[in-house]
């Protein structure tokens, strides 16, 4: 839903706009049990778009919680691979029926 701000200058409009991040979380977890736990965790934040891929449209304040939860879950010694691509919903290019991310601004690797 696009918000319209009347009678605000451009700086005030930017300040009033909801601050969100659009993320794509992709993971490869060897353990079935741990992979299921991560999927359950990510279901609380976003929408599964493929087996090991979630789209997350999240407020910037909650983004830090998401990263903390992923960081707490991640175990390098188990061979975990988790990547969080961060962009803006407005920059999304969609080639399917659901909203998907294509253009990226920043990438976080775990």
Separation of alpha carbons 38 and 3, rounded Å: 33
Half-sphere exposure of 50 (CA within 13 A, CB side): 10
**Are 107 and 86 a contacting pair, CB within 8 Å?**
yes
28 is in an annotated binding site: yes
Q: Among all chains, which residue has been given the structure tokens 């049990």? A: 33
Tokens 């979630």 appear where?
Answer: 54
54 close to 47: Cβ distance less than 8 angstroms: yes
Binding-site residues, in ranges, read: 28
Binding-site residues for Mg(2+), in ranges, read: 28
């Amino acid at each position: 839903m696009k918000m319209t701000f009347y009678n605000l200058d451009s700086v005030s409009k930017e300040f009033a706009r909801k601050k969100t991040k659009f993320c794509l979380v992709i993971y490869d977890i060897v353990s079935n049990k741990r992979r299921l736990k991560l999927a359950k965790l990510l279901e609380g934040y976003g929408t599964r778009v493929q087996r090991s891929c979630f789209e997350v449209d999240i407020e910037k304040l909650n983004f830090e919680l998401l990263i903390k939860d992923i960081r707490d879950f991640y175990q390098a010694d188990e061979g975990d691979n988790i990547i969080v691509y961060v962009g803006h919903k407005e920059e999304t290019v969609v080639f399917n029926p659901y909203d998907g991310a294509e253009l990226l601004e920043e990438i976080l690797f775990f």
